[in-house]
Structure 1
Amino acid sequence: MLSEHTHTSGTAEAAAGLDPEVRRLLAQVDTVPQLADVVRRAARAAGRADGATFVLKEDDRCFYVDEDSIAPLWKGQRFPISSCISGWAMLHGSVVTVPDITLDDRVPQDAYRPTFVRSLLMVPVGAQPTAAIGVYWAREHHATADEQGRVIAVAEAAAAVLDRIGLDSAPWAPSFGKH
C-alpha cells in the first residue's frame, strides 16, 4: 500500500518535536555540507531506519549529497528528477511512503535492486522543495505515523536552515540555479 500527503514547512510544532541535540546542531550549521551531515544522521535516527540520505534539487536533477546507511547507496550521484522517487517528492511537495519498493513505479528498480533498500519514506524539504530526505529500511516496512512525523520535523527544520544559509554555501553552488 502506498501513501502520500502534502505538508507545509517551518511549523513551530515540528521544531518543538525535534530532539534538543538536533536543534542545537542545526542552529550551528553554516553550510549545506554541514546541514547534510546533521540531517542524514537525524533522519536515520528519527525513522529508526537502516539508512538515510539528503538530496538536493539541482536544476532538472537530484543530487544525492550525503548518506548514513548500513551499506553504500547513491552519495555523490545525480539522477534525472523525473525518474526518481526523491524527484517525485520534490516536484509534488508530497511525503511518500513505499512499504515495498518493487510495487511502486516511481522507484527506479535498476538503481535500487543492488542496494539493501526494500522500503522507504521520502520527505520533501521546503514549501517549494529544494531538497528531500530519504529514509530506508532493509525489510518491508510501512513507516508509522510517529516515524513520518519525526522525519517531517527534521525536514521542516532543515528547510528553515536552508532559508537561513541558502544554497550558495554549497561548494558546488555554481551548478545551482538561484532561488
Structure 2
Amino acid sequence: MTAEQVSQPPASGSSRFAVYDYVDGMERLVHAVQELSLARSLPDIQRIVRSSARELTGCDGATFVLRDNDRCYYADEDAIAPLWKGSRFPMTSCISGWAMLNRDAAVIPDIYRDPRIPHTLYRPTFVKSLVMVPIRKLDPIGAIGNYWAEPHQPSEHEVRLLQALADSTSMAM
C-alpha cells in the first residue's frame, strides 16, 4: 500500500462513506492521535480508543481487546448495549483472535454468513456486521472492533481509519 493509496478519499459518490466523511474521519483520527500522545495509563488509552473508534465510523459499538497469552481479553467497550466487557475467550475461537493471529483486519458485513464468528455468542447481541483490526500488525498485542446493529458493508476507508487508530494505539501502549 502506497501513501497515495492511503491518503486518497473514495472516488465514487455512491459510497455510503463519502468524501466529507473521509475528511471528517481524518480530522477525528488526528485528534485521537493527539489524545493518545498525552495518555499516561492503559485506562486512559482504552477510553480514548473506544470513543474514537465509534466516532471514526459511526458504528453502534466499539471494543478494546487485549492479547492475554493465548486468550483475548475484552477489556473495554462503548456500545448501545452490553457485549463482552471483562470476558476472556480463546484466540482460536473469536474474531479478535483471528485478527491478531492473521495480522489482518476481519471485515464481516453479515456475521451469520461468516464461519469465523461464534454465532451462539452473537445471537443475543445487537451485532449484525463488524470490523476487527489488530493493534500493531507486526506483532499484535490486541484488537479494536467496531460493530453495527444494521447490516453494513464497511468501506475500505473506514477500515483504514480504524487500522490507523490501532497502529497509533500500539505506540501509546
The question of a shared fold, defined as TM-score above 0.5 by the shorter chain, is answered with yes
Once the two structures are TM-superposed, the CA of residue 23 in structure 1 deviates from its matched residue by: 2.2
Q: Secondary structure at the match of 1:74?
A: coil
Once the two structures are TM-superposed, the CA of residue 99 in structure 1 deviates from its matched residue by: 0.4
Instruction: Report whether the alignment pairs 1:137 with 2:125.
Output: no
Once the two structures are TM-superposed, the CA of residue 37 in structure 1 deviates from its matched residue by: 0.9
Identify which of 118, 124, 128 aligns with 2:134. 124
Once the two structures are TM-superposed, the CA of residue 30 in structure 1 deviates from its matched residue by: 1.4
Q: Secondary structure at the match of 2:105?
A: strand
Partner of residue 160, structure 1:
171
The runs of 5 or more residues in structure 1 that have no matched partner are 1-6, 8-12, 163-179
Once the two structures are TM-superposed, the CA of residue 24 in structure 1 deviates from its matched residue by: 2.3
| Percentage of matched positions with identical amino acids | 45
The runs of 5 or more residues in structure 2 that have no matched partner are 2-6, 8-25
Once the two structures are TM-superposed, the CA of residue 18 in structure 1 deviates from its matched residue by: 5.5
Identify which of 37, 43, 46 aligns with 2:47. 37
Task: Tell me, in whole angstroms, the C-alpha distance in 2 between the residues paired with 1:34 and 1:110.
Answer: 32
Partner of residue 17, structure 2:
none
- Give the residue type in structure 1 aligned to 2:155: T
Q: Secondary structure at the match of 1:26?
A: helix
Q: Which has the higher contact order (CA 8 A, sep 6+)?
A: 1
Runs of 4+ in 1 over 6 A off after TM superposition: none
C-alpha contact 2:60 2:148 (8 A) present in aligned 1: yes
Q: Secondary structure at the match of 1:94?
A: coil
Task: Tell me, in whole angstroms, the C-alpha distance in 1 between the residues paired with 2:117 and 2:39.
Answer: 31
Task: Tell me, in whole angstroms, the C-alpha distance in 2 between the residues paired with 1:123 and 1:98.
Answer: 11
- Report how many residues are paired: 148
Q: Cα deviations across residues 114-164 of structure 1 (Å, max 9, x unaligned)?
A: 1000000000010210100000000111101221121111111101112xx
- Give the residue type in structure 2 aligned to 1:144: S
The TM-score with structure 1 as length reference comes to 0.79
Partner of residue 52, structure 1:
62
Identify which of 124, 128, 140 aligns with 1:114. 124
C-alpha contact 1:53 1:67 (8 A) present in aligned 2: yes
Task: Tell me, in whole angstroms, the C-alpha distance in 2 between the residues paired with 1:88 and 1:24.
Answer: 29
The TM-score with structure 2 as length reference comes to 0.82
Q: Cα deviations across residues 20-44 of structure 1 (Å, max 9, x unaligned)?
A: 4312211111121211111111111
Partner of residue 84, structure 1:
94
